[in-house]
Structure 1
Amino acid sequence: MHATATHREGMVHEVEIDGHRIVLDEPLDQGGTDTAPSPTRLVTAALAGCTAMTIRLYAARKEWSVDGLVVDVDFGGAPRAGESARFDVVVTLPDGLDEAQRERIMVIAGKCPVHRILAGGADVVTTERGPGG
């Protein structure tokens, strides 16, 4: 997987990832024009979407209906130095599932790839490429 961010204007950047284009901006209070989600908002959205998709894939294999599933994620913002980030994930499951199914789905919710990346930490290595490189 590879992503490339290209400046458009102000704080607006376009990111291309595997043939898809995503526009990013910052809120007004951060110097942006709030015309698109900020990078941290996209991380929050990725966690919500990944959790919902992981639950749906698991439920489909088990032939359990999760129609009406809703995943809400709240993120307070980037942590200060020495603190860890906190995401609050609330899964609303539909009626019709028994207690054992609900418990298993909640275990599976924590296994989505984005959750694992965020919870496990990541090594981010930043290097410089000179002009024309």
Structure 2
Amino acid sequence: MSVVVTRLEGMKFKAEADGLEVVSGRVREDAPLEGMTPGRLLTASLGLCTAMTIAGYCEKRGVRADGLKVVVAAKTDKAVGRAVAFDVEINMGRPLTEEERKVVLEAAQSCYVGKTLLGSPSITHRLVENS
């Protein structure tokens, strides 16, 4: 998986992958945001992945998920400049049986983004200069 990020103007950037794009930032400091900030995109990625994984699990197991709503709250530590915790709240919009609860929680813990964040992946930065 690869994503290409390019600067559009000022502090406005575009991320592209597989023919799809997301815009983040703003042209000027006094201009309105034109997309979610990178931190919000990270939080949104966790929520989207969790919701999509739950919906897929539920569909395969015949569990209704039409009222599914996921809210993710990120706790940040400004002293270290990063998120230090995520709270993921899952609401199925209806009461669940014990078996349905197990399916939903198993699915939530199987989300690719969540597993990646928990696994502390390595990150390599390389400077590439055009000639």
TM-score category, normalised to shorter length: 0.7 to 0.9
User: Kindly tell me: are residues 114 and 19 of structure 1, through their superposed partners in 2, closer, same or farther at Cα, counting changes over 3 Å?
Assistant: same
Aligned to 2:11: 11
Aligned 8 A contact 1:14 1:24 in 2: yes
Aligned 8 A contact 1:70 1:91 in 2: yes
User: Kindly tell me: are residues 31 and 103 of structure 1, through their superposed partners in 2, closer, same or farther at Cα, counting changes over 3 Å?
Assistant: farther
- Size of the aligned set, in residue pairs, is 130
Give the structure with the higher percent strand. Answer: 2
Aligned-pair CA distance for 1:83: 7.8
Please identify, of 33-42 and 56-65, the stretch whose mean Cα deviation from structure 2 is larger.
33-42
Give the TM-score taking structure 2 as reference length.
0.86
Aligned 8 A contact 1:54 1:112 in 2: yes
Aligned 8 A contact 1:25 1:34 in 2: yes
Aligned-pair CA distance for 1:91: 0.4
Aligned-pair CA distance for 1:18: 1.7
Aligned-pair CA distance for 1:80: 4.1
Please identify, of 81-90 and 48-57, the stretch whose mean Cα deviation from structure 2 is larger.
81-90
Aligned 8 A contact 2:58 2:103 in 1: no
Aligned to 1:119: 118
**1:89-108 pair list within 5 angstroms:** 89-95=88-94, 97-108=96-107
Aligned to 1:57: 56
Aligned to 1:46: 45
User: Kindly tell me: are residues 76 and 128 of structure 1, through their superposed partners in 2, closer, same or farther at Cα, counting changes over 3 Å?
Assistant: same
SS at 2:54's partner residue? helix
Q: Which runs of no fewer than 5 residues in structure 2 stay unpaired?
A: none
Aligned to 2:34: 35
Tell me the distance in 1 between the aligned counterparts of 2:35 and 2:67.
27
Aligned-pair CA distance for 1:8: 1.1
Aligned 8 A contact 2:74 2:83 in 1: no
The residue type paired with residue 99 of structure 1 is E
Aligned structure 1 segments of 4 or more residues deviating by more than 4 angstroms: none
Instruction: Give the fraction of aligned pairs with identical amino acids, expressed as a percent.
Output: 30
Aligned-pair CA distance for 1:95: 2.1
User: Kindly tell me: are residues 84 and 49 of structure 1, through their superposed partners in 2, closer, same or farther at Cα, counting changes over 3 Å?
Assistant: closer
SS at 2:51's partner residue? helix
Tell me the distance in 1 between the aligned counterparts of 2:16 and 2:82.
31
